[in-house]
Amino acid sequence: MTTRDRMLGLTVVVLWGLNFLAIRIGLDHFPPFFFVALRFAVIAIPVLIFIPRPAVKTRWLLLYGTGFGILQFAFLFTAMRTGMPTGLASLVLQSSAPFTVVLGAVLLRERLRPVQMAGLAVAVLGMVIIGADRMATATLLPVLLTLAGGLGWAFGNIGARQAGADSPGFNPLHLTLWMSVVPVLPMLALSMAVEGPGTGFRALGAAFSAEGLPALGAVAYIAILATVCGSGLWTYLMSRYPAGTVAPLSLLVPVVGIAAAWAVLDEQPSMFALLGGAVVIAGAFAATTGGGVKKVKEAVEPVRELVPVREPAPA
């Protein structure tokens, strides 16, 4: 990976890590289900007008949008609204990585290598440590909801993967943008049924005031910087390098999320939560990059192209 692309990857990490602060600000004003619908509607409306639909099967687009857009954020936003700390949410959501590996094995018959199984076991151990720490403060439910969000993200990953497998050559960024169309109406209907028919719209009207401007700024950040810019850069990097080279960068997102929540919101995580988070990240890294010698060679190939290799002197 070139220095420029490495900096682009770190830019994505920062954008996605700070995204959790934006979510917290938005949830202080909007009800969670309406907030999900609103954040995707901001993207979906121009996408329907200007972006051509990607040439993928509808069922994979729906699975991607349902898992990534509906399940992930419905559970995550509810968890954060009911007490999940912002920094810890950015960490526990990384459970999507081992969940994706498991779903790939169960649904797609992908073979799990021993190092991946060990990584899954380590990640589960880390989740148990975090859960035990949260049980001590009687707030386990938000952790479980965030784990459900990670599972939803994993189902979305399966949809995106199958879309690519069935329709090679499609535009991945167009798929990401069109995924935003799927959650809008279901989440709006869920908001009206659960949160009240006018609750979200009243919150939206109140957002156009001095007190509500931070919430509108949060929506803009999530939609434009975190989703369009962040996902666009990520798609670019995934198209240029092996997944094993790019994917581990996402494990740095909780570092930014926890640091930002600590600095801005004064959320100081416990030592057990940090320990559990380190264990989860280590396990997720092993589960998602433990592809044996072949993957290791693929991961270092871009580096080998940039570093001159000195031939041994003739004997």
- For 127-149, write each residue's pLDDT tens digit: 888 878 877 765 789 999 999 99
Using pLDDT thresholds of 50, 70 and 90, give the confidence band for residue 245: low
Residue 19 predicted with pLDDT over 90: yes
Check residue 274 and give its pLDDT. Answer: 83
> Cβ(202)–Cβ(44) under 8 Å?
no
**Mean pLDDT score, 161-181:** 85
Check residue 139 and give its pLDDT. Answer: 78
Check residue 249 and give its pLDDT. Answer: 78
**Structure token digits, residue 302:** 């871009």
pLDDT, tens digit (0-9, with 9 covering 90-100), for 276-314: 888 888 887 787 765 443 443 433 343 333 334 444 444
Residue 201 predicted with pLDDT over 60: yes
Residue 198 predicted with pLDDT over 80: yes
Mean of per-residue pLDDT scores for the chain: 85
Check residue 296 and give its pLDDT. Answer: 36
